[in-house]
């Protein structure tokens, strides 16, 4: 795998591997539930942060990590290692436990992971019901999802590594408030969000739990971009961008590259991963998509772009 240090135009076919969603959707569904279990532990123990930034996972050199989680007089970190295919829990007192990532049910994973934490002296209770999925099954009763295709998971992580890099390059162009590049285990997407600095109008979500979650997530105007592996409103892997609240005319703006389009069913701009992968420079194409969709939201939303963005000269350094 070619390292992407230096020029934002650096590319390698190995960094953007082919990964059709249908080829690994059972594994993806299982991995999604495993990530929710681990993510909910971070949610239960990490200090609450604005816009739920205490919730996500982060791309690491070997997979996805919770980052450091405080617990009493010690801290610990949970990492999905997609190189050696194991789940590691490492504590600041030098203790650690590992769990092999292999075909196993969600119920089995839940039981073994919670036992690992207990072995390390970490007692935590989480809500066992998955979120943001259709027909959820409690973790401790889910014997339906039990797939793990290591080769596909490795490809997925490589895509995340490349995407993480491009999102971070894109973030350097903005001097207003921006989120970390983080992986939301609820919706299973890697995302980065820019803020205008203005408060957003109240939302009208009917579900009281959803209303509370969304009120915090979208308390201020945002333009958010991300990557789904598939099944998140698109049939296959795709990059997306939306503005919340959506300004009038947002969906009618010019878009680059030409393969991108506005998906009216989900109210977002979309660039299918396979179209990006076939570009002569996927990295440059993704930066074009991110910039043009941000332009669409910032211009129609009348953001103070002069105050929020680097000058073109500084941004090109």
The answer to the question of residue 83 being in a domain is yes
The percent of residues above 70 in pLDDT, for the chain, comes to 92
Which range marks the domain in which residue 22 is found?
18-141
> What pLDDT sits at residue 76?
98
> What pLDDT sits at residue 48?
84
The answer to the question of residue 4 being in a domain is no
Residues 115 and 206 both lie in one domain: no
> What pLDDT sits at residue 209?
67
Alpha-helix residue ranges (DSSP H) falling in the chain: 25-45, 106-119, 150-171, 208-217, 273-277, 282-300, 305-308, 312-315
Residues 216 and 299 both lie in one domain: yes
C-alpha to C-alpha distance for 282 and 5, rounded to whole angstroms: 15
> What pLDDT sits at residue 13?
46
- 46 Cβ neighbours under 8 A, 6+ residues apart: 54, 55, 69, 70
The answer to the question of residue 249 being in a domain is yes
Cα distances (angstroms) measured from residue 13 to each of 16, 118, 224, 282: 5, 43, 26, 9
Cα distances (angstroms) measured from residue 155 to each of 16, 83, 220, 256: 8, 10, 35, 26
Residues 165 and 282 both lie in one domain: yes
Residues 267 and 298 both lie in one domain: yes
> What pLDDT sits at residue 233?
79
The answer to the question of residue 251 being in a domain is yes
Residue ranges of the chain whose pLDDT lies below 50: 1-9, 12-13, 313, 317
Of 110, 141, 172, the one marking the end of a domain is 141
Beta-sheet pairing, 69-71 with 63-65: unpaired
> What pLDDT sits at residue 12?
47
> What pLDDT sits at residue 3?
41
Residues 272 and 222 both lie in one domain: yes
């Amino acid at each position: 795998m070619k390292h992407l240090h230096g020029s934002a135009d650096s590319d390698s076919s190995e960094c953007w591997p082919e990964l059709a969603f249908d080829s690994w959707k059972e594994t993806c569904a299982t991995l999604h539930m495993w990530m929710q279990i681990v993510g909910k532990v971070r949610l239960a123990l990490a200090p609450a942060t604005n816009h739920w930034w205490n919730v996500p996972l982060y791309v690491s050199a070997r997979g996805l990590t919770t980052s450091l989680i405080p617990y009493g007089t010690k801290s610990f970190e949970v990492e999905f290692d997609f190189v050696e295919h194991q789940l590691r829990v490492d504590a600041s007192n030098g203790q650690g436990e590992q769990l092999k990532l292999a075909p196993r049910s969600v119920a089995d994973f839940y039981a073994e992971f919670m036992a690992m934490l207990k072995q390390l002296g970490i007692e935590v209770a989480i809500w066992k019901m998955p979120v943001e999925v259709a027909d959820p099954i409690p973790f401790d009763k889910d014997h339906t999802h039990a797939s793990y295709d290591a080769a596909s998971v490795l490809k997925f992580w490589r895509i995340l590594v490349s995407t993480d890099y491009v999102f971070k390059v894109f973030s350097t162009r903005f001097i207003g408030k921006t989120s970390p590049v983080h992986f939301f285990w609820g919706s299973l997407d890697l995302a980065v969000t820019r803020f205008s600095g203005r408060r957003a109008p109240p939302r009208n979500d009917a579900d009281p739990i959803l209303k509370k979650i969304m009120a915090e997530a979208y308390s201020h105007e945002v333009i958010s971009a991300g990557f789904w592996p598939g099944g998140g409103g698109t049939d296959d892997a795709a990059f997306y961008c939306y503005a919340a609240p959506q300004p009038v005319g947002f969906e009618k703006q010019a878009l680059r590259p030409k393969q991108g389009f506005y998906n009216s069913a989900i109210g977002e701009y979309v660039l299918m991963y396979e179209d990006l992968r076939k570009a002569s420079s996927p990295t440059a194409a993704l930066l074009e998509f991110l910039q043009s969709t941000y332009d669409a939201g910032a211009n129609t939303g009348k953001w103070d772009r002069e105050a929020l963005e680097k000058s073109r000269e500084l941004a090109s350094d």
